Structure 1
Amino acid sequence: MSTKEVVLPLMLIQLVLLILFGVFGKYASKSDDIDKYPMFQDVHVMIFIGFGYLMTFLKRYGFSSVGFTLLLGAFIIQWALLCQGFFELNADNKIEIGIESLYKADIATASVLISMGAILGRTSITQLIVMGFIEIMVFSTNSYLGTKIFQVADAGGSIFVHAFGAYFGLAVSYVMNRKKEGNSETAVSLQESNYTSDLFAMIGTVFLWLYWPSFNAIELSGDEQRRAIINTYLALASCTLTAFAMSSLLSPERKFDMVHIQNSTLAGGVAVGAAANLVLLPVGAIVVGILAGFVSVYGYARLSPRIENTLGVPDTCGVHNLHGMPGVFSGILSVLMAAIASENQYANDLFNIYPARMPNFKISNSTAPRSSGEQAGYQALGLVVTLAVAIVTGLITGFLLTLTKAPSAHLEYDDATYWELPKNSHHTNETKTGIHYDNASFEVSATDSATPKPI
């Protein structure tokens, strides 16, 4: 790792951000969003502790999982404030920054960290920064198109954050894998977890599980927010029981698999997101959680190996199973719920949820309100367009990343590539036949897991 590779790019990026904030940034004129600060802190914890620790399952990539989450997140929240702000410039061509824009930047950051999960351990810092730089521009444009032009309702971001981030990352992973030359035995072995790394990853799971209702409800108010919190709470609970049951059922020895417990227990929060503020009723939210738990565990146990072997799409953290499929499921759920939504059911909340159904609401040159069927059609359109945009731009981004320097195959999934490690760490004490770290021979510890542990 050289100064030219890391130090200069990071300092240059921060200098450019400094100039942009100097030109465009100002405090928001309104202060009535301060009541959102507690939920904003919940989301902030999810981004930097939840996502960071969830990715520490790799036995020799813990420093990088947490550290790169902090580094990439710190860059993306600044870049997202600008990219999203450019769509909402005030009369003075300034970006007004308040609590609302801060939590929206955090939510945007989640999409990049989801994509990072698909390629975790196989990229350089420069590649992660380039990917995040491009992705946030695309994310902001797609979100504006979906929420402002199409008027798609997606309270918890299951369509525009989770599905987008997952399939963008998978597309990047597909291209990078096609351009990759060989795969060393060292890298394969380092894709495994051990008892300690899995335990650390569960810290991320618990934080995400506890705070997910805030993620789905932060942009809402009143009865919508109350319903979102309750629906998410119930979906997570029922998803967890289902994930444990399915994990035991689909595991060869009929025992719990830590991969499933770390990840599939969270799928209910994703699956209910796009419809979190709707009248699902408690029983409906529980059904959504059950289905999400089943789909996610099945994805980890059966689909992921097939996708990698047949399509050539490595997915380090299993984002397809936690964010991709549950995100698509949530989008489909939002289509069905929009189709049956009525004033009798929601009263005035109907027009808060679906502004385009409001009488005299102007969309382009039309002032005719949408019917429930038309709104359902736009929900479906938003999902399809998001998937198309994510995949196409992800493929392009993946190609651009192949033009930059990536770690050699034998340096993948290893903290030693970028970090100064303690002399008494397992990197320097464990042995691995034929591999040399710090001028010593190493072999796999008995505590290392025999199978890869995706998130």
Structure 2
Amino acid sequence: MGSDYPPSLRCGLPGLILSLETAFILIFWFCFSNESGSTPKDLDIYPAFQDVNVVVILGFGFLLAFLKRYGFSSTGFYLLIAALGVQWAVLVEGFLFSSSAGKIKISLHSILKGSISVTAVLISAGALLGKANPIQLIWMAMVEVAAFSTSRWINVKFLKVEEHTSLMHVHIFGTYFGLAVSWWLYHSSLSERVEKERSNLISDLFSMLGALFVWMFWPSFNSVLIVDLMERRNAICNTYYAIAVSAVAAFALSSLSRRNGKIRMTYLNLVLKIHDTCGVHYMFGLPGLLGAIVNVILFIIIKWASLSSLGYLALIEVGSFMLTTAIGLGTGFITGFILTFKLWKTLPASKYFDDQAYWEFPHLASRF
């Protein structure tokens, strides 16, 4: 019978972080250079860059802080994997999309794309919330960023999908990558909702605060990489209309689904043997798939005049998001299997959803 005490991460976690940072610094020094000539352009996109940063750091950090005994870990680990993941994403995207003779030039635009790419990791981590330790999350982030960037590279280079559209597949990729990993980390004790997996008034308020920040800045997230001004305006307006209608519909469906008509923060559950802690499937996966399908339908309507090439172009659009989903599921399945190995110092199920496994609380007893 295994010990109920979590294994120490004193050597493994600092060693992994310092090794990665050292490698990142060396790669940036020898292979990358700042694109000094793009400073005015960078300053033009800085306000939108900050909006995306708010979504990635503050929005996601608080959105998933609903577990009453896992708030420190939810926000802290999200900051950790976001900060490491952005650096890795800039490196991977630079080599895949910008490699040429000499050093690869990077700019604020590169960091912006890296921030959007790392959203896939944050979505996936939501499905594993409370069940994976920081070492597992960091390694998952490294693999997932590389896999998502590779899927984007295939879409852009071979299927000729617009770069903005390929980045918007981040919701689909992150969801199904995370669900595939979660399938491997499933434990029989998770079949019933345990006491530590519940929320309270304070944690729910923090989660709602995160949802509000995401709600406010999502139009910037969806439109920041669109070059054409008219298309960017349309993306901002359409995103706002969509989330407004979705918010109103969520209130209606939540009230309708309860016999007493009261509104709940959540109202959907999965029935498969996949423990999705925060419900990324219905929060990101299903909306992402619906958006991809609607995009194909609208594409057909708009391009109806060019009937001769319509079938081929529509097939490319369908194949793009299906390829993204397949790569996400496949790489997530392999990653989840690897994360079950003992070398990752997996947390015992009795210590799931508990900050005390990782954080020091001076006002509490040292034994738990």
TM-score, normalised with respect to structure 1? 0.74
Range 390-399 or range 158-167, more displaced: 158-167
Please say if 1:246 is aligned against 2:253: yes
Cα distance change on mapping 1:176 and 1:91 into 2, 3 Å: same
Q: Counterpart of 2:214?
A: 208
Q: Counterpart of 1:290?
A: none
Matching of residues 389-408 of structure 1 within 5 Å: 389-403=327-341, 404-408=344-348
Q: Shift of residue 389 of structure 1?
A: 0.8
Of all paired residues, the percent bearing the same amino acid is 39
Q: Shift of residue 374 of structure 1?
A: 1.8
Distance in 1 of aligned mates of 2:230 and 2:278: 35
Distance in 2 of aligned mates of 1:231 and 1:186: 39
Please say if 1:26 is aligned against 2:33: yes
1:190 is paired with a residue whose SS is helix
Q: Counterpart of 2:5?
A: none
Please say if 1:82 is aligned against 2:91: yes
Q: Counterpart of 2:4?
A: none
Q: Counterpart of 1:313?
A: 274
Cα distance change on mapping 1:195 and 1:158 into 2, 3 Å: farther
Distance in 1 of aligned mates of 2:356 and 2:150: 37
Q: Shift of residue 153 of structure 1?
A: 4.3
Q: Shift of residue 94 of structure 1?
A: 2.2
Please say if 1:10 is aligned against 2:12: no
Matching of residues 129-208 of structure 1 within 5 Å: 129-153=138-162, 155=164, 160-177=169-186, 180=187, 182-183=188-189, 188-208=194-214
Relative contact order (alpha carbons < 8 A, sep ≥ 6): 1 or 2 greater?
2
Please say if 1:72 is aligned against 2:81: yes
**Contact 2:130 2:353 (C-alpha < 8 Å) held by counterparts:** yes
Please say if 1:96 is aligned against 2:105: yes
Q: How many aligned positions are there?
A: 356
TM-score, normalised with respect to structure 2? 0.91
Please say if 1:223 is aligned against 2:230: yes
1:96 is paired with a residue whose SS is strand
Q: Shift of residue 242 of structure 1?
A: 0.6
Matching of residues 285-304 of structure 1 within 5 Å: 300-301=267-268, 304=269
**Contact 1:60 1:414 (C-alpha < 8 Å) held by counterparts:** yes
Q: Counterpart of 2:244?
A: 237
Q: Shift of residue 175 of structure 1?
A: 1.5
Q: Shift of residue 233 of structure 1?
A: 0.8
Q: Counterpart of 1:40?
A: 49
**Contact 2:127 2:276 (C-alpha < 8 Å) held by counterparts:** yes
Distance in 2 of aligned mates of 1:157 and 1:244: 31
Q: Shift of residue 97 of structure 1?
A: 1.1
Cα distance change on mapping 1:19 and 1:252 into 2, 3 Å: farther
Matching of residues 344-363 of structure 1 within 5 Å: none
Q: Shift of residue 77 of structure 1?
A: 0.4
Amino acid at match of 1:242: A
**Contact 1:172 1:398 (C-alpha < 8 Å) held by counterparts:** yes
Distance in 1 of aligned mates of 2:172 and 2:255: 27
Distance in 2 of aligned mates of 1:305 and 1:88: 38
* Deviations 1:194-213, CA, capped at 9 Å, x for gaps: 00100011111011000000
Cα distance change on mapping 1:186 and 1:68 into 2, 3 Å: farther
Distance in 2 of aligned mates of 1:157 and 1:44: 19
Distance in 2 of aligned mates of 1:370 and 1:24: 45
From 269, 272, 286, the equivalent of 1:325 is 286
Matching of residues 353-392 of structure 1 within 5 Å: 371-392=309-330
Amino acid at match of 1:67: G
**Contact 1:187 1:412 (C-alpha < 8 Å) held by counterparts:** no
**Contact 2:156 2:166 (C-alpha < 8 Å) held by counterparts:** no
Gaps spanning 5+ residues in structure 2: where? 1-7
Q: Shift of residue 383 of structure 1?
A: 1.3
Give the greater-gyration-radius structure (CA).
1
